[in-house]
Amino acid sequence: MKKLLTPSGFPENLPQEQILENQFKNIFSSVCESYGYVPLETPAIEYLETLSSKGDINKEIYTITRALGESDSEEKQKRALRFDLTVPLARYVGQHYTDLLFPFKRYQIQKVWRGERAQKGRFREFYQADIDVIANAKLPLHFDAEVALIVAQIFSNFPIHKDIVIHINNRKFLNGLLKDHGVDDFDFALKTIDKIDKIGQAEVRVLMLDKLSVKEEAVDSFLKKISKNYPLKEAKIWLETITTQDEEYKEGILELLTVFDYLKDFLPKKGVTFIFSPKIARGLDYYTGTVYETFITGLEKYGSVCSGGRYANLSERFINRKLPGVGLSIGLSRLLDIIKNESLVSYPPPTTSTLLIGFNKEEERGKVNALAYKFRELGIHTETIHDASFSFGKQKDYANKKKVAFLFLEEGNFSFFIDSKRENFNTEQSMFEYIKNERALY
């Protein structure tokens, strides 16, 4: 028999890994919903034309064809799997514009597909978890703070024992700072600055001096300013000293100050910090204001685990309306892969139950089922042993493998095992009262 496996780049989880992934998805959803963001799901399949901006077809896109050929007339247009969640969002908002309430605040946790070369940490099918606010015509700046706060809260709730730093910058500010140092080739400058973490500041300096007709002192002064990260309070002090006549620069400074002001009082309880990082450029020409990148302290080598920014017009290809937005995206599958590689969490047990009931007489299964039903009503996830002919020892081993508490019924007596404790009861009533109060089971 030939072993048929999953194709390369299309990973799947063992039960304990899937349970962990679901915990992360649930944290993401519940924080977003606590702010009134609505869940969105779009189809995996879109017209290729929808996914191809300005006629450019991303070579990583997978198109679909029926295995034995097409037949329906409506299938003349090529269809493809989405490669991100932003283009489908833009199409969705355009398509359903009249049915949506604006600002449209949505979160979306769905798979995307990219036909990249399969390699460690790169998947061809993976989850993204996105949050965006789309406004009609005008998007207030407090949303740039809100989406960052939501992401901070999400990371704060994640059960990983590492600090998270959310780096914030502003494209208008960075353009202004470049102009202020005599640089006007923004495109080249931003793409070069974006490489600082990869190639180092010295190399960026060489590239800038090579290409830009700017004095050495100006480049050095610029690089010195952006090479540091500033806690929000220090950022404020620095930003308030800058005087300029340039409108874009002024706007950028004001936007940063406003966003920092909204953020300052609302740090989530633990493990997450905001920082002003003037070297964050975000290569895409898409972003027009606030930009974000997020790093795990000590694990910066993996790059940003959550990035995003503000864009002037989300759906211009789909509807003739100005719809500015701001959002952030977590590469969830990639983040979980880092968490796995770096052992950042202890995995949950390979079951969703917390209690296994054992017994030795198959004819008592009805009674045991009734008991299990009572536990479930209390919110205790309960399994019953699948084969009562197993010995007590084999049943207890099975509970240990599942890492759940074990309750054994024998001749009207009950033995309850949790962690290394054992308790005995000779009435169902006393057993039930005890277990009901065992918080570890909930």
Contact 124, 81 (CB under 8 A): no
Amino acid at 94: G
CA 423 to chain centre: 43
Distance CA 432, CA 429 (A): 5
* CB of 250 or CB of 381, closer to a second copy: 381
Residue with tokens 């979306």: 108
**Shortest Å distance, C-beta 181 to a second copy:** 34
Candidate ranges 47-55, 159-167, 188-196, 432-440; the one touching a second copy (CB under 8 A)? 47-55
Contact 382, 329 (CB under 8 A): no
Residues 6, 10, 11: CA angle, nearest 5 degrees: 85
Distance CA 333, CA 331 (A): 6
Q: Does 80 bind a second copy (CB under 8 A)?
A: yes
* CB of 293 or CB of 337, closer to a second copy: 337
Candidate ranges 18-26, 191-199, 273-281, 430-438; the one touching a second copy (CB under 8 A)? 18-26
Q: Which one of 160, 299, 312, 319 is in contact with a second copy (CB under 8 A)?
A: 319
79, two tokens = 């269809």
Q: Does 374 bind a second copy (CB under 8 A)?
A: no
**Shortest Å distance, C-beta 193 to a second copy:** 30
Binding mask 398-417 for a second copy (x = CB under 8 A): ---xx-x-------------
Q: Does 209 bind a second copy (CB under 8 A)?
A: no
Q: Which one of 238, 318, 347, 432 is in contact with a second copy (CB under 8 A)?
A: 318
**Shortest Å distance, C-beta 50 to a second copy:** 5
Residue 109's nearest CA partner among 53, 30, 41, 198 is 41
* CB of 58 or CB of 415, closer to a second copy: 58
Q: Does 186 bind a second copy (CB under 8 A)?
A: no
Contact 345, 309 (CB under 8 A): no
Binding mask 250-289 for a second copy (x = CB under 8 A): -----------xx--xx-----------------------
User: H helices within 170-302, ranges in order?
Assistant: 171-180, 186-193, 196-199, 201-211, 216-226, 232-241, 247-264
* CB of 164 or CB of 356, closer to a second copy: 356
